[in-house]
Amino acid sequence: MDYRVLKDNEVFFLTDKNGDIPINHPYGLGLYKKDTRFLSEMSLKVNGEDPILLKSEADNIYATEMMLTNPHIEKDGEVELWRESVEIKRHRFISNDVLYETLSIRNYNPKAVNFNVELALDADFADMFIVRGFQNGEVGKVLEPKETNDSLTFSYLGADDVKRNTRVTWESDTTIAIEDGAIKIPVSLAHEEVQEVTFHIIPAVADEKVQVLDRAEAFKQLQSTYQNWNESVTKITTDHQPLQRLVDRGIQDLQALSTDVGFGSFFVAGLPWFGVPFGRDSLIAALQMLPFQPEIARGTLKTMAHYQGTKKDSWRDEEPGKIMHEIRYGELANTGQIPFTPYYGTIDATPLFLILLVEYVNWSKDIALFEELLPNVKAALSWIDEYGDRDGDGFVEYHQEASKGIANQGWKDSADSVVHRNGDLAQSPIALAEVQGYVYQARVGVAELYESIGQKENAAKLRTQATDLKEKFEAAFWMEDKQFYAIALDENKDQVGTVTSNPGHVLFSEMIEDERAQRVMDMLTSPAMFSGYGIRTMGEGEAGYNPISYHDGSVWPHDNSMILLGMGRMKGAEHAKVVMQGLVDASHHFEYERLPELFCGYSKEEGKPVPYPVACSPQAWAAGTPLTFIRTMLGLNPDYKSKELVVAPHFLDEMNELTLDKLPLGQGHLSLRVKRSQESYQIEISTNTTGLQVILETNSAVFS
């Protein structure tokens, strides 16, 4: 990626690889908090000249370091600074909403040197939607900066009457001056002498108090946060190092993307542009993480329940019982110029909320949370019946009402993502294939939970509805000529017949019978759909296919992960292995072997995977994708009725060992090691306090 990004809680920092924020950079670099840019310029110079980048490291998601040196600097024929004689390191991290940046300047010139380092700063306090060019509107006023001997403060009074400010302070043994908005640091160094300056950059909204700690203590606290996170997650180890690196990277990235807005930790969607609560994204990322850290699912569910729709509000596409799409906190949202307070234009977040709740309870046996959220469950089910099914035909469909909302309201939410075979865009109301699968899965799962608390009548109603939906889906969505399902039904209930990845999500719901499930998996791993690096969003050769597009031929890791979970349930182990290997191969070609939000859909035969130009990285549901590999490869399916945990291993070809340490199940934990010798698998169990028998499906051996 051509940028460096840091995040902690609600603050993220986006710079170029040098560590700078150039003025008017097209990618909107800056320091952001609550959808507002608190720094719009940050430029480091040596005697007025740009330094030369030597390296830029962001291997640790929570800290970055840039190493630079000086160009050759002469003035009036006199050498001010010989080329590459000074090393400048910029080490930075964010802790408790404070950005800490330390400049470490070392002289390698054999003689003493004297020069200046200048750090130019500015803050425009622009709303995120204005920075990205999505909206314009009434805005507030930037106030005059305030300077003291040891601080520089930028302030802004918003159109929402909220005062925002960015305060910059520093620690230095040298007297620092401010000239024309730039912080000037005089440097005088003998040979190999080092000078350090630490800056604290503090974005604040209204009158909030932000505590600045000693840099070493702040960094220690930050490292402790990651250590605690790692200890809370099941330890996954394998002898297949490419997969190990992918899993480790994903787990670290997910910690960086975790946030708590008062109801428990959950994952924001991704960086740099989606560091806020998202219904669909946060729910799916929690589902990916569920077997290995269930508390995230709990926090996600409680957060979504808090923001669940309560009224009919067309401006925000809100309806009673509906789970939100996205919430924003900036000036345009606060003044009602955009509808994201929160915005509810998503057709799938509501059934996904129910699916995550069912999966969480089934995994953790925390039936108390189900009982606590019963009003939210009933409201969500009512929304599906009354508002989701707009015309009473049994299918859930979407239609945009908000004037500044989103037209396509499934996960493929770009305007051209639902397209007929002839290239015409489908018109709403639109019923998406995967959404019908989500609704089926939600009804079946909630029926089980209802039955467990004695609500048999409600359970029976949901099962009947699920059966009816399954029959209608087969009749309306199956395309005999393609031996595949349509992506959607349009406003006239005509099939949108383009071959896409959407029906692959229906595998996870188990709504499809085995024979047709096999046809779906065959199509998804065919040359038209499988690029060699992953399943495409749209099949090569379709009228709308474009490998460079956002949703019409690109590869999205999370899309693949949802399909993989379905393949794991529908006995598609060989298909799943092909997909997983493709994504592992793709990861080698991205920085730090991190799967991005998406990449282009060109085939493997054409070379390395092609990056999508503005893909977010890290992205929560991309980071969570490798965790679904583990669940899929082991076929983990706890069954508390039979008191069994079935393990059906199918490893990648170069993999022979996988260990899970402290896998949480119910009220206990399980630690196991699965080994393969050729195609024979064995399980060693070191800890099992789950009350479940572990059954190896390949030879029915029982372990305890």
Predicted local distance difference test score (pLDDT) of residue 46: 96
Place 22 in a pLDDT band, splitting at 50, 70 and 90: very high
Query: Which segment of 31-40, 203-212, 445-454, 507-516 scores lowest on mean pLDDT?
Result: 203-212
Q: Among 553, 506, 512, which residue's Cα sits nearest to residue 531?
A: 553
Q: What is the pLDDT of residue 703?
A: 39
Residues 14-23, mean pLDDT to the nearest whole number:
95
> Domain 233-634 carries which CATH code?
1.50.10.10
| Mean pLDDT, rounded, for 497-518 | 97
pLDDT, residue 672, reads 96
Q: What is the pTM of this model?
A: 0.95
Q: What is the mean pLDDT of residues 552-570?
A: 97
Quick check: 152 pLDDT over 50?
Answer: yes
User: Mean pLDDT, the chain, as a whole number?
Assistant: 95
- Given a cut of 50, whether residue 398 has pLDDT beyond it is yes
Confidence of residue 700 (pLDDT cuts 50, 70, 90): very low
Q: What is the pLDDT of residue 642?
A: 86
- Domain ranges within the chain, ordered by starting residue: 4-223, 233-634, 639-703
Q: Does the structure show a pLDDT above 50 at 701? A: no
pLDDT digits (tens, 9 = 90+) for 461-495: 999 999 999 999 999 999 999 999 999 999 999 99
Structure tokens at 158: 């918003």
Confidence at residue 704, expressed as pLDDT on a 0 to 100 scale = 34
Using an 8 Å Cβ cutoff, are 316 and 402 in contact? Answer: yes
State the pLDDT at residue 1: 61
pLDDT exceeds cutoff 70 at 120: yes
Q: What is the pLDDT of residue 697?
A: 85
Q: Would the pLDDT of 699 be above 70?
A: no
Q: What is the mean pLDDT of residues 437-456?
A: 98
Average pLDDT over residues 619-633: 97
- Whole-number pLDDT of residue 702: 37
Look at residue 273 in the predicted model and tell me its pLDDT: 87
What SS3 class is residue 524? Answer: helix
4-223 homologous superfamily: Glycoside hydrolase, family 65, N-terminal domain (2.70.98.40)
Q: What span, in angstroms and rounded, lies between the C-alpha atoms of 589 and 586?
A: 6
What are the tens digits of pLDDT across the range 52-61?
999 999 888 8
* Percent above pLDDT 90 for the chain: 89
Strand, helix or coil for residue 287: helix
The secondary structure of 16-65 as a DSSP string is: -TTS-B-TT-TT--EEEETTEEEESEEEEEETTBPPEEEEEE--STTEEE
**Residue found by looking up tokens 């349009």 in the block:** 490
